[in-house]
Structure 1
Amino acid sequence: MTVRNSERGDDGGAADRQVGRRPRLLKAAGLALAGVLALGVGTAGWAYWHLNDNIKSVDIDSALGDDRPPATVPSPSPSSTASPLPSGALNILVLGSDSRSGEENAELGGGDSGGARSDTAMVVHLDEGRSEATVVSIPRDTLVTRPSCPLPSGGSTSVAYNTMFNSAYSVGGPVCAVKTVESLTGIRMDHYVEIDFSGFSKLVDALGGVTVTTDEDIDDEDSHLKLEAGTHHLDGEQALALARTRHGVGDGSDLGRIGLQQTLVKALLDQVSSTNLLTSPARLYQVADAVTGGLTTDTGLDSLGGLMSLGQSLRGLTSADVTTVMMPVVPAPSDRNRVVADEPEASELWASLR
């Protein structure tokens, strides 16, 4: 009996030790899991803050006031949806520029902040429902009447007649670019988006490159791009060079470059559609970092939430749903190296987008 009692005591002690060890192990595992979750939440929080902080913005609405075309009236939201995505018609001025100084932009051919230029200007019109879009390119060599624009330092620029379209950005930045486009088109720009050289190049690389087909050989000493006619998969630097190429195609004018840029826009849409970013958080972050890092917007889009809402409203849009055109132009009578709007065709085009 004594022996049995002693054995029972030994077994009970081992069991007690196991029971005592189990809560400690569970506690340790719980603390470890909590640490991992806290690290994940902290990393996600830092990533959101970083991406949000990347975005630069300009308060265009306050700068221009009420002296503008009427704003687009948003479509009524379905009452059955608590937080519906925006679906109304929208007009966005998209500029490609070298406005941000820095080593990366300089290496890609960008200028300093004092010599900012807008090499690409597109008015993107999203139809009601966001299922179709029209992208209208405005040649930078178009002669226009540049209206008086407010300056950040106070005062305003003078009205300029028969001046190049891209001078608006040079003298008055995004605010003057928007006001000049609204004066030219009679259309309110609901939003403004500008991406610099480095941001564009990084975006293409983050997407894994972009595939384009050219109809003719390209050999441009200025953009340093050489391509034989055919289909090519380009990295970010090559895609940027293609967007900037003008002397290696056609008659060497800005009109030939616009054709390449429009091809590139559709190719990028196809690349985005074929890349399932949701299955790769690392790739998704890389793309988001590239986009926000090279971006300047109006204050209506200067948050990650605002950009995500816009992007989600366009998720069904493919290159087949996008029409790319150029504002109708003819050689300027005063300078054959410049162009002017071809009327009444140009006005009819803008009227169709109101």
Structure 2
Amino acid sequence: MLRILCSLAILIAWHSNTCAELQDLTESELSEVSGEGVGYIYEDFQFNAQDPNPIDDTDGYRFKITGIEDTNNDPVDVSFSQIYIAGAGSNRGANLDGNYVNIGRLNNPFEIDMLDGNNLGGGGYTDKAVLSIAAPKHIDVSQGYDCTDATAVQGSGTCASRPEGQPSAGYQGERMDIGLQINTNFATSSDININLYAESAHFDGSYFRVWGGDADVDGNSTVESTMMMEARLNFYADKLILNSCDLDGNNCGTDVVMDQLRMELAIGDAKYYQPATFDVNSDGNFTFMIHAVPSPAANPDAPGTIGANGLRTSSNTATWDWYQDYYTNGAKTNISVGDLSVGGTSFGSSRIQGLQIQYLEVTSHDI
């Protein structure tokens, strides 16, 4: 059992959080507490960092990124002037007063824990202590809710986070409305405003894990001690809306709407010796890498050969079975949109299913 932490009177922007009354545990309940890890939830939560005067970028309300230049070496300022996290029905930030959301549930909270890698499937986790930060988990469909439907009822899906009004009318649920306005200011050309709104969104099943290991983190064939990572980044929303307006929020253009959005991104796969690593070299550029699946001869679990025709009968059986398991059960990325519409015109559904990364290297360069 996890110890549950509740935030008392934490000031977020100009809204104060509250939490329910803490309850005593009985002797039998205390006997089941192991003290392993920390679980945390927020009840009646709202984050409101909307700039009351979005035209004025000197009033201290916005988060700004500087140091970017265009092709003429003129400065380009990127600022975030309208940010909020609130309950359902926020109407793109217009209805925030008293509109709260719960983040996590008492029986399925966000968790911070130190895990035994030997209990995570072995492979690259073997004999490692793994720091894990995790969102609420997926649950049995008989108890869960459809992950993307804002009107889902119990028994319709595997997500633990409940929509507003579930399990009973008036309950505010654990799915949030999120808004973000990005303003890009150019010195010699027109400024650009981009708005992003998510309705009934949540992150069930997401986690981020880190541990120490040895790997070639920059492709120079030198093995170094480094921090290794694995993540499952899940994002579900009833709707994701993208548009552009004037900097004051008026005269908005056409809405691009993704209905019933489901993104399940797999970054790294430690069980099959594919950690993700991040390295910054001496000139300030970075290398992000999802390491290659090991070759048959160098496979730590089942070294051997794969026949030229790729068949099991001409291969080392254990080696062939290991790769078959990797392609069948290894981490995969899935993205689906129930309906994509632009300006009210539907373009139908789209889906990416079972995308598996065998090797990825991303580097930055000076221009």
The two structures share one fold, judged by TM-score above 0.5 = no
| TM-score (structure 2 length as normaliser) | 0.23
Computing the radius of gyration from Cα coordinates, the structure with the larger value is 1
| TM-score (structure 1 length as normaliser) | 0.23
Q: Which structure carries more relative contact order (alpha carbon 8 Å, separation 6+)?
A: 1
Tell me which protein shows more helix as a share of its residues: 1
